[in-house]
Structure 1
Amino acid sequence: MSEQQDINVARAAKLDTATLSDALDKHGIAGQCYRIKARGEGFATAGRAYTLLYGPASNPPGTVGDYIDDVPPGSILVLDNGGRDNATVWGDILTEIAHRRGIAGTVIDGVCRDVALCRQLGYPVFSKDHWMRTGKDRVQVEATNVVVNIGDARVQPGDILRGDADGVVVIPREHEAAVLDTAEQIEHAENAIREAVRGGMRLDEARRQFRYHQLQTKGA
């Protein structure tokens, strides 16, 4: 991975998901992960995707989670369980190992369990919900580091993910520089608008002056 790409992860970490979402809209990219939310107060993360695709268990069933030792530190685990809410693919053993190995977080299109430990350790997990029923003998890993779907957003291995209290966004690798540039411009404009309004300017005037709507509109 290049130094510039490492810098881009750090840039993403400084921006909130709402600002990044607006920048994605500006570029016509559907990178917002629908209904994927933090499982703990204050959870936030940024990193590059290490993806896993799940499917229904075969007979005999395959494994649900024996990949963890191969995941590079700093990665975000991205688990596509097809949105299933009746079987989990993440629990306390994986949380403990991921936390110890310096993995940046886990994002799941589906549900997790054992949320008490991830909250205790401060290990950020984002999913559609949490429930206790195991995925063992119900689902299995079908493929690793392939294109997956998380909350209707396409995720490729190496894409940047950013998660915070508002949810998770995906920034495709091939567009990350442009999206981050736009997001930083939006953040700068929002800060300038706040300062102008505090100084007595009308909000509509401040938004016009700092071209706020153009920054968020595709093609503008």
Structure 2
Amino acid sequence: MTETSTDKNVARAAALDTATLSDALDRLGVLGQCHRIKGRDPAMHLAGRAYTIKYGPASTPPGTVGDYIDDIAPGTILVLDNDGREDCTVWGDILTEIAHRRKIGGTVIDGICRDVALALQLKYPLFSRDHWMRTGKDRVQVEAVQVTVNIGRARVQPGDILRGDTDGVIVIPAAHEEAVLNAAEEIHAAEMHIRDAVRDGKRLDEARRELGYHQLQTRRR
């Protein structure tokens, strides 16, 4: 895949909301809805390619929670798999400040973060299960980078597209991105036609029937 096509597909994903992308994933039978992962502010949005980090319980002596931030390219989405843990963090204000300065596209965590005030102040896109103050240092450590991870029961591989908005986070696997984006754009167009028809005086049930609204997300073989 060329850099040009990569940028194009990220831009296509950014132009669609997660609800539409979710329907497209359902139509294609692809699991990409990240359960319970949401922005620390409902206004937060992100779209970009995944750089993945896998955490595990700390060893004795403990390993590091990660000093990866200086090597991340602008626009990248950091994807941190802490196995859904809600008792300790893997992200705080130092990482937020540097990520914002380096123009990283956002962070998605299967787990929790802390120091949310700075992310809100800087409008840095930060998506997680929740937030709480207890550090992950001496509790968890980085096990691997750029490997397949699990975010909210969805599989994320390096280079997959992540899209986040007020409704949560979607992962679009690289192997399916053309099909998912094509389907999502078709669904979006159909829904816009329904809105236009209703604004022009047509009954909603009639407009929905004509444009197949109730089958837009139905699995197609």
**TM-score for both structures, normalised by structure 2:** 0.97
Aligned equivalents of 1:61, 1:70: Cα separation in 2: 23
Partner of 2:77: 76
Unpaired segments of 5 or more residues in structure 2?
none
Aligned equivalents of 2:183, 2:61: Cα separation in 1: 49
- Correspondence 1:98 to 2:83: no
Post-superposition Cα deviations, 1:66-89, rounded to whole Å, max 9, x if no partner, equal 111111111100000000000100
Aligned equivalents of 2:63, 2:41: Cα separation in 1: 30
Aligned equivalents of 1:210, 1:10: Cα separation in 2: 26
Partner of 2:145: 144
Classify the secondary structure of the residue corresponding to 2:44: coil
Unpaired segments of 5 or more residues in structure 1?
none
Aligned equivalents of 1:38, 1:61: Cα separation in 2: 30
Partner of 1:157: 158
Aligned equivalents of 1:180, 1:211: Cα separation in 2: 19
C-alpha deviation, 1:211, in angstroms:
2.2
Partner of 1:205: 206
Classify the secondary structure of the residue corresponding to 1:59: coil
C-alpha deviation, 1:123, in angstroms:
0.3
Aligned equivalents of 1:65, 1:92: Cα separation in 2: 14
Aligned equivalents of 1:198, 1:102: Cα separation in 2: 40
**Which is further off, 107-116 or 209-218?**
209-218
Classify the secondary structure of the residue corresponding to 1:216: coil
C-alpha deviation, 1:198, in angstroms:
1.5
Classify the secondary structure of the residue corresponding to 1:61: coil
Partner of 1:52: 53
For the aligned residue pairs, the C-alpha RMSD in angstroms reads 1.0
Partner of 1:115: 116
C-alpha deviation, 1:6, in angstroms:
1.1
Partner of 1:218: 219
Would the aligned equivalents of 1:153 and 1:170 in 2 still touch at CA under 8 Å? yes
- Correspondence 1:133 to 2:141: no
- Correspondence 1:88 to 2:97: no
The residue type paired with residue 105 of structure 1 is: G
Partner of 1:61: 62
Aligned equivalents of 2:54, 2:45: Cα separation in 1: 23
Post-superposition Cα deviations, 1:52-103, rounded to whole Å, max 9, x if no partner, equal 0000001111110211111111110000000000010000000000011110
Classify the secondary structure of the residue corresponding to 1:149: strand
C-alpha deviation, 1:35, in angstroms:
0.3
Would the aligned equivalents of 1:112 and 1:131 in 2 still touch at CA under 8 Å? yes
Aligned equivalents of 1:125, 1:64: Cα separation in 2: 18
Aligned equivalents of 2:68, 2:62: Cα separation in 1: 16
C-alpha deviation, 1:4, in angstroms:
1.1
The residue type paired with residue 102 of structure 1 is: K
What's the % identity of the aligned pairs? 72
Partner of 2:28: 27
Would the aligned equivalents of 1:47 and 1:160 in 2 still touch at CA under 8 Å? yes
C-alpha deviation, 1:205, in angstroms:
1.4
C-alpha deviation, 1:40, in angstroms:
1.6
C-alpha deviation, 1:5, in angstroms:
1.6
Classify the secondary structure of the residue corresponding to 2:216: helix
Aligned equivalents of 1:213, 1:103: Cα separation in 2: 38
Aligned length: 220
